[in-house]
Amino acid sequence: MPIYEYQCKSCCLDFEVLHRSFIDHSDTQCPDCNTYDVEKKISLSSFKMTGKSSPSSEKFSDSSDIGRNVEEKFRTHGVEMPESVRKTIDDARGGQMPKGLDI
């Protein structure tokens, strides 16, 4: 279940919401002023690998694996991948970080 970060366009509050699906989030409401005028923010993901290298952790060292899990999830759920997601994955595979990420 994804956790998304949002910013309220009315009161500028930054907040997080745990969604039960990857589909429509148009019902996201600011917890402070109760408006639905919110914008999803681009967030960094994080994970921690511990211990010895394993075949599953080695896959992250190959740039062709970047986004493979995302591609698989779209296929599994029968959802067409938006062109913006495709471009982001292709750019990352080419070594270009997505715009808006401050890494």
Please give the average per-residue pLDDT across 90-100, as a whole number.
73
The domain segmentation of the chain, as residue ranges, is: 3-40, 55-93
- Structure-model confidence comparison of residues 70 and 20, the more confident one: 70
DSSP per residue, 20-42: SSSS--TT---TTT--S-EEEPP
Strand, helix or coil for residue 8: strand
pLDDT attached to residue 38? 94
Distance separating alpha carbons of residues 30 and 15, to the nearest angstrom: 8
> 71 with 77: CB under 8 angstroms?
no
- b/e per residue, 60-80, with b = 16+ CB within 10 A? eeeeeebbeeeeeebeeeeee
Please give the average per-residue pLDDT across 2-6, as a whole number.
83
